[in-house]
Amino acid sequence: MKSFLRLFVLFAFLSACSVAGAQKITTAIQLNDYLAGITDSLFIGGKEWGTAFAKANENGTYSTIATHRIRLSRFIDNKRIEVVTMKDINGSGKLRLAMLDFLSFEARMIREAFQPFEKFTSSTPSEDIQKAIVSLQNKSAEEGTYLDEVRAAQIEYGKKNGFTIQEEEE
């Protein structure tokens, strides 16, 4: 019980520190850039997981991908706390809500599509692995919808606050 209490206090302290850091954002462009950085970090983390998954899929050591999934999950949880507790800056509510929807989707995707691979071993039937891969592909296809919503909210927020969102290169 004591170790649980210490762990809880440590988590609360770290969360408060991370939220306090996020509150240094004072302008609309800073807020937009901060939220864009979250999506960039998730992209990088997803690529790292994908690279680890490719290796695990080759040699059947799926347990090795857990550390990447755990890191992504913690990142998402921390960012959700930060975005929820962020102060409104020049009408940022719609943008922050779009980001929260995106982060909630990412948390579900990790839980439903990434985590199932961790129970696999080199003796897992290929049909089970293929079924999980199809599930991952289906979830990944949904991700674009949430990113589009964030992008639309960013464009609207930028127009309202006098800046434009740079077009992504295809």
- Does the pLDDT at position 97 exceed 60? yes
Single-letter amino acid, residue 135: S
Q: What is the pLDDT of residues 55-89, one digit of tens each?
A: 999 999 999 999 999 999 999 999 999 999 999 99
Domain boundaries, the chain: 27-161
- 19 pLDDT band, cuts 50/70/90, is very low
The single-letter DSSP state of residue 27 is S
The structure's pTM equals: 0.83
Over residues 112-159, the pLDDT tens digits come to 999 999 999 999 999 999 999 999 999 999 999 999 999 999 999 999
Q: What is the CA radius of gyration of the chain?
A: 18
| Cβ-based neighbour number of residue 159 at 10 Å | 11
From its phi and psi, is residue 167 left (phi > 0), alpha (psi between -120 and 50) or beta?
A: beta
